Chain A
């Protein structure tokens, strides 16, 4: 398995290079000119020409595309992700805080969504067609059909406007105050949890139903094992194999953030940064973020492969 892992990691390197070339190329094809965005509108026409030339040279945009690409890659290798034309700062500094905010937010979402959907999914499967099962079925159908922003707005209406328990949006003013963090995080976390619950509950329920209907469950019962052992050890361990797929897919959303929810709650996360960066034609920022997503995606696929082998002995990696 270790040998396989090392082989896989090395095989990712050319993939990452290929992605970086494609992203770099796409970014250059993208209409719009970042330099235009940087010239103050107050500048006089003759000054504008002068400024444009200076900025273009400063950013290295006058060189040929391969030269630009090589310069960028060698900078990235040194840990310099480029310069953000929007914030007039290093991309690294621009991303740091939003990345942290997004990861914190989505970490709790993942934790909550997973534990609720696994518990509720198993219960629904055991008590198939009971009231609990039907509740979760309707719940997930409704939440899957209603757009995220609407769920967010409903929660804001109930908890912020009517009950006045929680702030409707924004970030904590004092970043070191945990109480404030919690107060500001509850609504966006709840919104995202509800959305991601909808699908995973059904998934867990069906995986469990499938496992519970297998012959080996009858064998386990015929051995005198208690219902608890039958369900949580024999059935759930088997149901875990398809569930892993969904869980791993959610890891990448942990980092990508949710543009819509972040917009509703004015949460300073990666989704917001990417949106603005695109609108401002902030090339280096866009490439850096897309590269980051690509790597997270590759990594989670890699983790999925390894996890499959861990939960299912029939899968041999070599």
Chain B
């Protein structure tokens, strides 16, 4: 069953200089019990897509068009009250900055208990016991002590574990992880990723995993959505992206070839996609990637391609998808 379906979502920021189309027609879906990885450069709209699901908006930001179906129900026009019932309860989120995402002046216990008391109606004591259990489940060595600690007394990895414990406290159906390991060093990152995979296997929670790191996607995701300029340019199961498909989007190809490898020739220059993500107020006509694409034609520069299936579970937004192996 589809847990989440996003159809043609448009989320814009209203600014003095014009509309910033952060999410510009995103279509995505997530099956229950699976992990969807969303990849893309900074500014590609991946975080804003996640924020749109929970409607965690700035004052000048709103959904202009499209729908978000969660368990069959459209939640894109929910009221604040309906949203606060979904947030932290059915859908939770963890963020990139474990150092600043926890409130510095409340204890871990207070911050985890808060969700339990709000959504599950637990008493203070029940919530405290459950909070310690949650800390145990994220493999924190001394849950009693950590439960009484303040965030500043914990390391970055520990804080991210606390964030995960807090997010999973109400057994949500969906966990959105917005670059949860970007701010951590590699060894801690590996631990956190393993922990998330273990917890997913235990609880069956679906995950949307946002990252710019394709290596992490390879470890975590079942399905992948590649985003560029507020649009999804390619969706496929993870193995198709990394090796098994016949075709691939030129942008995905660029991302894959720009991963530095330990075994590559140190004298050779790293591949990189030329240019930068266009400014959201000044998007190119036609295909958004055309100005940076080495295969672009006049058609690409003037007409915008649609997301089209190249095989049953593989969609590409490109007129001329690159055929693998004939570079």
- CB-contacts of B50-88 with A (<8 A): 54, 56, 80, 83-88
CB of B97 within 8 A of chain A?
A: yes
CB of A225 within 8 A of chain B?
A: yes
A-contacting 9-mer, from B1-9, B111-119, B131-139: B111-119
Given contacts A314-B150, A314-B152, contact A221 B101 (CB under 8 A): no
Which of A219, A224, A241 has a CB less than 8 Å from the CB of B85?
A: A224
CB of B205 within 8 A of chain A?
A: no
Report the minimal beta-carbon distance from A74 to chain B, rounded to whole angstroms: 48
CB of A214 within 8 A of chain B?
A: yes
- CB-contacts of A216-238 with B (<8 A): 216, 218-227, 234, 237-238
- The answer to whether B114 and A313 touch across the interface, beta carbons within 8 angstroms, is no
Which of A215, A222, A234 has a CB less than 8 Å from the CB of B87?
A: A222
A133 to B267, CA, bound (A): 59
Which of B92, B95, B105, B119 has a CB less than 8 Å from the CB of A218?
A: B95
Q: Give 1 or 0 for each of A231-255: 1 = CB within 8 Å of chain B CB.
A: 0001001100100000000000000
- The answer to whether A222 and B56 touch across the interface, beta carbons within 8 angstroms, is yes
Contacts of B163 in A (CB 8 A): 219
Which of A223, A234, A314 has a CB less than 8 Å from the CB of B88?
A: A223
- The answer to whether B93 and A222 touch across the interface, beta carbons within 8 angstroms, is yes
Given contacts A220-B103, A238-B104, contact A215 B88 (CB under 8 A): no
A224 to B101, CA, bound (A): 15
Report the minimal beta-carbon distance from B98 to chain A, rounded to whole angstroms: 9
Contacts of B166 in A (CB 8 A): 223
A222 to B166, CA, bound (A): 11
- The answer to whether B118 and A224 touch across the interface, beta carbons within 8 angstroms, is yes
Contacts of B83 in A (CB 8 A): 224
- The answer to whether A224 and B87 touch across the interface, beta carbons within 8 angstroms, is yes
Query: How many residue pairs at the A-B interface have CB separations less than 8 Å?
Result: 71
CB of B100 within 8 A of chain A?
A: yes
A215 to B118, CA, bound (A): 21
Contacts of A216 in B (CB 8 A): 100-104
Q: How large is the interface on B (under 10, 10 to 19, 20 to 34, 35 or more residues)?
A: 20 to 34
Contacts of A313 in B (CB 8 A): 104-105, 107, 150, 152
Contacts of A219 in B (CB 8 A): 95, 101-103, 163
A207 to B56, CA, bound (A): 22
CB of A12 within 8 A of chain B?
A: no
CB of B211 within 8 A of chain A?
A: no
CB of A311 within 8 A of chain B?
A: yes
- CB-contacts of A231-290 with B (<8 A): 234, 237-238, 241
CB of B160 within 8 A of chain A?
A: no
Q: Which residue of A lies closest to B115 (CB)?
A: A223
Q: Which residue of B lies closest to A129 (CB)?
A: B59
Q: Which residue of B lies closest to A313 (CB)?
A: B150
Q: Which of B56, B83, B86, B106 is the most central at the interface, judged by chain A CB atoms within 10 Å of its CB?
A: B106
Given contacts A223-B118, A227-B80, contact A234 B92 (CB under 8 A): no
Q: A215-B100, A218-B95, A223-B115 are in contact. List 14 more A-B contacts (CB 8 A).
A: A215-B101, A219-B102, A221-B56, A222-B92, A223-B118, A224-B88, A224-B118, A225-B88, A225-B114, A234-B106, A311-B105, A312-B105, A313-B107, A314-B152
- 18 examples of A-B residue contacts, CB within 8 angstroms: A215-B95, A216-B100, A216-B102, A219-B101, A222-B87, A222-B88, A222-B92, A223-B115, A223-B166, A224-B86, A224-B118, A224-B119, A225-B88, A225-B114, A225-B118, A234-B103, A241-B105, A313-B152
